[in-house]
Amino acid sequence: MLYFVYTELAVGYILFSFLSSLGVLQIVAAHERMAGLALFDRARHRMWGYVLGAALIATSTWAFFASQWWRILTPGPAGAELSLLYAVSAGGALVLTLALVSIKRRAGSDTLAVPSMTHGQVVPLGAATGVLSIPGGLESPGPALCLLCGPWSDRSSIGRMADQIVQRGWIALLVALDRHAYTFPEILTVLPAATSLLTKRPEVDPNGVGAVGYDLDAGLAIRSACCDKKVKAVAALAPVLERTAPSLDLLRDMSFSQAWSWAYDHQRSRVLDELHPLDLLPRLEARSLLLVYGANDRLAWRTEVGNGPAPSATNVSPLAAAAISSIDVPGLGHTDLLSSPVLTERLLSWFEEHL
């Protein structure tokens, strides 16, 4: 039978264990760059995680031993009672941390139906909605990029990227896809419809059309480009091309609620299985494919073909492999890759060489 002896000692120990556990979690989150546990932004305010963690541990330790020292030196709770109190306190600290981070990231999440652009003309693309933006002052047909933006993409970041592309004098067609549009095989008609619209415009060079996709949209861009010869080059950002088992690596980039949705979203898993873009990589033939990763990304598919850094794809032909290249963006993971201030410049530099 459990016997806690002093109520004040038990309550004090619970508070001490709870606050110190919160502190340890923040130090771990800062050290391991785990966005799912960090109350502060891991990139811009990482040091505050160490400061908060150390302050919580030091304050709770001082408060507990200063207020309960005489009870600590007398017979008190035994090991079973202390283990139970610690388990409840540490578990509560973990649950509270996961909940606070989930609420914080959900409050800042993107809920735009159509990605926001400074200028643009809304165009229908069958199951999708397009926003076409053409820079002023074009003297001759120029290159154009289709940016796929599905329900799992950061729509604000994609919209800002499209604006930057237009500011550089390129034509941008942002293709917004919701969950209802992401059904197979209808989804395969979206990129061909977008490229068909672009190549019919007098402002667009028909030999200068590229496609950009992020996460699952990267697989869609690759799969669609394999069947659409109008796409001359593809950039796959943090590409997710095959299903992987859920792991704690998800918490490096997401809150707990986001990680749960990412891992157990049945529609996402079904679409990924149906797209199977890896099987079609050889059909890209000599067209160029760029794989872009955050250097800290543990979720994206990687390959050793071209100059990529991780496990190889065994079904890629030598011709296709020669046209595949990859770059890593330092300091970023899966979900914050699109926030990189240099990403758009690097993409456009690559497209200038390959379109």
Domain ranges across the chain: 7-107, 121-354
At residue 43 the predicted structure's pLDDT band, cuts being 50, 70 and 90, is low
* Closest-CA residue to 238 (of 306, 160, 333, 147): 333
Question: Could you tell me the strand order of the sheet in which 121-125 lies?
Answer: 121-125, 128-133, 171-176, 142-149, 204-214, 233-237, 288-294, 324-329
Give the model confidence (pLDDT) of 224-278 as tens digits.
888 888 999 999 998 887 777 777 778 888 888 888 887 888 888 888 888 887 7
For residues 148 and 175, is the Cβ–Cβ distance under 8 A?
Answer: yes
Contact partners, residue 333, CB within 8 Å, separation at least 6:
33, 35, 252, 253, 294, 296, 297, 298
pLDDT, tens digit, 9 for 90 and up, residues 205-223: 999 999 999 998 998 998 8
Confidence of residue 309 (pLDDT cuts 50, 70, 90): very low
Residue 350 pLDDT: 92
pLDDT greater than 60 at residue 114: no
What does 58-127 look like in DSSP terms, one character per residue?
Answer: HHHHHHHHHHHHHHHTSS---HHHHHHHHHHHHHHHHHHHHHHHHHHHHHTS---SS---SS-EEEEETT
Q: Residue 354 and residue 234: Cα distance in Å, rounded?
A: 10
Q: What is the pTM of this model?
A: 0.78
Percent of the chain's residues with pLDDT above 70: 85
d(CA 117, CA 163): 6
Domain 121-354 CATH (choose: 3.40.50.1820, 3.40.50.720, 3.50.50.60, 3.40.50.300): 3.40.50.1820
* Cβ–Cβ under 8 Å, residues 319 and 300: no
